[in-house]
Amino acid sequence: MKDYREDEIPLRFSRRQKAGRPKKAAATEPLRVLRIARLMALAIKFQDMVDRREVRDYAEIARLGYVTRARVTQIMNLLLLAPDLQEMIMDSGAGISTMTEVHIRHALTEVHWGQQRRLLRP
């Protein structure tokens, strides 16, 4: 039978570490960024990459991100939302926190921004 104490590695601590570091006060939990807000930020970033010619097109973004072209199109379609709705989404979903991505994609079927607002306003 093997003595497991032989495998232990002694650790040396400085005096400061022995005394213990001061405890940090419990920080407030950071705000959770909604998934739709992250997707909106991705759409803005992807469009910027295309505009600056870092990537050739959305298909290249899909290849680089290991996702389908259809998924990239869904993300990029978020840019078709009315500017104030995009701002609401980027504002951590203020006012639309209960809506899902599918619900927002449904609003994207409307071309007119007024109709989008009507569908997405609480």
33-43: string of b/e by CB count within 10 Å (b at 16+)?
Answer: ebebbebbebb
Q: What is the pLDDT of residue 8?
A: 60
Whether the pTM exceeds 0.85: the reply is: no
Q: What is the pLDDT of residue 41?
A: 94
Q: What is the pLDDT of residue 1?
A: 54
Q: Is 31 in a helix, a strand, or coil?
A: coil
Report, as ranges of residue numbers, the positions in the chain whose pLDDT lies below 50. none
Q: Is 116 in a helix, a strand, or coil?
A: helix
Q: What is the pLDDT of residue 114?
A: 95
61 and 46 Cβ atoms separated by less than 8 Å:
yes
Q: What is the pLDDT of residue 89?
A: 87
Domain limits, the chain: 33-120
